Structure 1
Amino acid sequence: MDTKDYQRLFLQDVPLIDVRAPIEFQQGAFPSAINLPLMNDSERQIVGTCFKQHGQEAAIALGHSLVNGKARDERTQAWIERCHKQPEGYLYCFRGGLRSQLVQQWLHEAGVDYPRVLGGYKALRNFLLDTLETVAALPMVIVGGNTGCGKTLLINELTAGIDLEGIACHRGSSFGRTLVKQSTQINFENQLAVKMLKKQHAGCRHWVLEDESRIIGSNNLPLGLFNSMQQAPLVAIDDPFEVRVARLQDEYIDKMRLAFEQAYGQEQGWQHYDEYLHHGLFAIRRRLGLERFQQLRQRLVSALQLQRTGGNSEAHQQWLIPLLQHYYDPMYRYQLEKKTQRIIFRGNYAEVREFLMTYSQNSGE
């Protein structure tokens, strides 16, 4: 019943019980895993020190003495309850060795037979890293264009689209953070690999990705995937300026205020929203230049006051429009000009969408 069928575990979102210590789980785990540790962090550290100094037998004996009596009963009961809730699942430790075998043995003694993942976390992680290398070799098309042209919206409309920013929980700019905290680098890579594995298994033979820098917030794109993106053909969305301004105001102003207030309440939510906009502008102050930064900051303060008292957010365009004109648009144009030879299609949002919908047939894939 133990398994090495790592692909099935990820494709079917099979429930996993991770019996590693909490600190190991926090550093990296898998989307369908829950942490029910054999040892807590301090117990693991003590046993690890013993293993280095006195060897495996002494470490095992110490582990048994630490996880005994009431602690053992409580942890075993937690595993039993999870096994009953998810009888189709598996358990694992770091290498599929001592810890998962011991948990499996204790469960068996309690009348529950539950399988484990052979090779453990390390094997599952290596499988996903190999998956990232494999999927990075598939053909891909990159979607570029000025900020506000709907690149992420378009990618989420397409079967072959992979929303890198969505997986990273960050929109890639100084105003890009969301209310969801970014995951660790390992978890970002794991989630990305599982997403692409599922799409490939469902029939995707090429990818549509947004034109990203290597770093999205605090997460780095896998190097193999990023390198492939730098060589791939590119489509550019050219939407009217006023359309882009409206999109940005909706996404970064109106929806963010609503999201903060829904998460924290009206008063505290407004404070978070205010800090979010100020932080985004402050993060690019050096690139803006001190004089322009001060001008835009004063306009932001005024817009927030008007929005707070009157509920109207239109005054934000007083700083948003010049920010686009003097910072974001020149930066995106410069970056896109360096990629001119790779551009295979230009058009507005609807035209690019239509082109990408038929891209696989046109290219013979």
Structure 2
Amino acid sequence: MAGPIEKTSDLRIASVEALTPPSRLIEEIPITAQSVATVVESRGVIQDILTGRDRRLLGVVGPCSIHDPELGLEYARHFAELRKEVEQEIYLVMRVYFEKPRTKLGWRGLILDPHLNGSYDIQTGLRLARKLLVDITSLGIPTGSEMLDPIVPQYIDDLLSWGAIGARTTESQTHREMASGLSMPIGFKNGTDGNIETAVNAMASSCKPHRFIGIDIHGNTCVLATRGNELSHLILRGGNQGPNYYREQVERSGQLLRQAGLLDRVMVDCSHANSGKDHTRQRLVLEDILRQRLSGVHEITGFMLESNIHEGRQAIPENLDQLKHGVSITDACISLDETRQLLLSARDLLASGSTGF
């Protein structure tokens, strides 16, 4: 008689927890009429900027990551006023990042670990993220976020006006397929090694239709068929060899994009390797790309700044009551005060058409 069949699957799975399906979370935290208006209008504006119908620069500005929804909303209220001050020259989208890719280990973002203690209460994280996006977009502020986990967009993408595929995932086939079906314009960052062709290839792939395994809004596993996302653009963020926002690199990027039959629009991330991971140098990067724009480098279409209520960064303390108010727990950021000064100067420079500072 044959003995029992030895188990061969799930040998390293410690537990399985059913996740609230997207449709139920959307019913619990519905999109508001103001949010719908914000998302629809802002996606249209971003499309016009990427295709050259709107002459303004696109600015994606905000915290490196959101670790406290109340602080995120506090930042958003200040951001709303700043948007109005610069809107004639710069169209601002608030950076609202909930997922953090890690090279090794570390805090992985509000959705994965909302309590900042390794408990991974993802059910709560998804609710907090969706609620914050509803609150921010209800203020009339468009939001942008990195698309990391391929399941998460079903929970929040109706509230996003712009998305990014990060440097660590631009080469991933899964993320290229996901981007081909996302409802908003998508920026692809060059790889961590600084390779621009990787992002160009990703854009060429994502603009085509794909079929892949995913979930629908009810949480059912299914085959998703996409139409392709033609509204993609390149994000230069530097690499292991240093910055890549200089004019010759921007123009070379434009050439590669045109050769691939893609929109030759380039956004520059003023942080990360472009600033040498020194948040105080974001100012220098922004000044350089503004000079390029004003001197006729038409490929420059936008920029990213990491900004928080207060400057710098902090480690997550063992006692969370000791967290400093409005200070990043991931990459160091410039303060809201400096952000305002930088963006007002950029507005005035763009309005004057002068290349001097």
**TM beyond 0.5:** no
| More strand per residue | 2
Q: Which has the larger radius of gyration?
A: 1
